[in-house]
Structure formats: structure tokens, C-alpha cells
A = this chain, B = another copy of it.
Amino acid sequence: MTTTRQIHLVKRPAGVPVPTDFAVVAVLARDAAEGEIQVRNLLMSVDPYMRPRLDADQPLGAPMLGGGIGRVVQSKNAKFREGDLVRHGAGMQELFVSDGRGVAVLKQDPDIPLSVYMHALGGTGITAYGGLLETGALRDCEQVFVSTAAGAVGSVVAQIAKLKGCYVVGSTGSAEKKAWLLDTAGLDAAIDYHAEPLAEALKAVTPKGVDVYFENVGGAHLDAALPRMNLRGRIPVCGMISTYNGGGEGVRNLFNLIYGRVRMEGFVASDFAHLNARFVEDMTGWLKAGKIKYQETVLDGFERAPEGLIGLFAGKNSGKMLIRIAD
């Protein structure tokens, strides 16, 4: 048996998580038994959705829930070969044994870096694709506002909307990210909400209103978007990061839903399994053609996962935040 490490939640956070809410724990990793595989983790995802789970279904003193990409190092299961790359939901563990449930072989396209399977071709990609096209029911050439548009989900949403001929406005939290949205992602307008008054700035750059507001933030962002919504507008609700740590103002402009006949609707990535084949085909094509740009913020070192998660709430990431454990 080998020693390996896990990231545990040891204390439920009060507000924004702090490093001492987590611990790196050394445990023994056993070999694969009959029907099992042993997997070495290569990349782990940290995502805003993890924050509400820290108050809810994330067990204390157990590996942090989450997804990653690993390599099979032992296989006594006919579905896997040693050396296979796999996607898994085994959480934050360097090395783990599995009976194969929740683990899927990943066929990497040689022209696409492995890390992209953790965002544009992974969970955040299908979240963007399904949330915008299915929940948001986007039509070509509509008016679109995307919050946290330089983030892992938002950046894909904004660029898919551009590919559909839409007028696209994004919000983000720094001048550097705003420049990326305008110069690289090709948005029509961008707002640095730390530097500009959000509601006024949004009004100024949405002269034709907003048909789809892709909601990642909540609070003041939602209050700014609601008065801009066009008749029968849609607000797919992917996340509300401004509320996850307990802060922020309540939302006051919801009455705009009424006369606008606006629809707000929540969703999660797993709602879009039926779209997966079409998503992979579309997204692979867009990526290879250079039509979807992305940014990654990669922290090297298994033990840095808590730092990565905490950093999401301070906007430390440009695009997808990843933890790289090994190549």
C-alpha cells in the first residue's frame, strides 16, 4: 500500500471560506481488487457551486466532492486499461480506488490540450451550452447579457452567443478581464463592475434591452439586469456567486418579471446529458477552428485546492481555475 493525500473539509465556513476550514490528510491507498481500478488524479476542478455544498451535503472529515481527470494505474476491471485517461467524480484525492461507477474513459483529441476537457469540453462547457441554448432558449441575433463573462462558464456563454449572431455584453471584475472580453473574446461591450456603476453602465450599452440574461452572480447584478429585460426575456440561472458567502443586498427589482413576462429558471449541468453528443461535436469544432477562446488559471500542487476554491470568490481566476497534480 502507498501513502496518498486527500483534501478534507474540517469546519463549515462562516462566510467566505478560509484555509483552516480545510486540511490535507495523508491516508493509505490500497491496490485495486478484482473488478476495481486504481486512478492517479492529474487535474482537479474548483468551481463556485462547491461553496453552497460546504453548508449542505459536503461531509466533514471526508474528501471534498468534485470532479477531475486522472489516469488508470491499475486495472482489474475489463472496462478500463492501465494508462487510460478517465473523467471522474471521486473528489479531491491524489490516488483512489474505484469499482468504475462514475468513472468514464476520456478520448482526447490530439489537437486539444487535456485541461480543456475540464472546462470548455467539460462540465462548465455543457453548463454554458445547455443553459444558454436550452434553458435560455436563445434565438439567433438576440440581445444577450452575461455576468462574470470572463469566467469559465461565462466566457463560453458569451462566445456561443456571438457565434449565434447575437449582440453580447459581459460584466467582469477587472480592467484586464474587460480587455480580454473585448479584444480576444470579441464581445460587443464589457463592463468592469468594480470600476463602473453597474446599472447605469448596463443601461448605456444595451440600447435594445436584453433578451437573455445569463445569471452567474445574483444580487446587484440581477437588480441591474431586471429593468433591462425585453418582453418575454429569459434569465437562465446558473449561479449566484454574490450570495454564496452570505453577503450582498437583497434583490428589489423582481416586479419587472411581471409586465415583461420574463422567465427565470434554474438548471445544473446534469440536466443536459441529452445534449452531450451535439455539445461535444459543436464545441470540438469551434475550439479547433479557434472560434471559442479560453483562459485558464492553473495552480500547481494538490495541496493548493483550498487556495483555488477560496480564490474564486475574490476573482483570482481568469477563466477556469484548475489544480494540476501531475502530467
Contacts and interface: CB of A to CB of B under 8 A. Distances in A.
Interface of A: 52, 218, 222, 237-240, 243-244, 249-252, 254-268, 271
Contact of A238 (B238, B250, B258): B258
Given A218-B255, A259-B266, 20 more contacts: A52-B259, A218-B254, A237-B257, A237-B258, A238-B258, A240-B255, A240-B258, A243-B252, A243-B255, A250-B252, A251-B252, A256-B266, A257-B264, A257-B265, A257-B266, A261-B267, A262-B266, A263-B264, A263-B266, A264-B265
B268 A254 contact: no
Nearest to A265: B263
Number of copies: 2
Contacts of A249: 250
Contact of A263 (B218, B256, B259, B263): B263
Pick from A238, A254, A271 the residue with the most CB of B within 10 Å.
A254
Contact of A259 (B222, B244, B251, B268): B268
B250 A261 contact: no
Contacts of A238: 258
Nearest to A267: B261
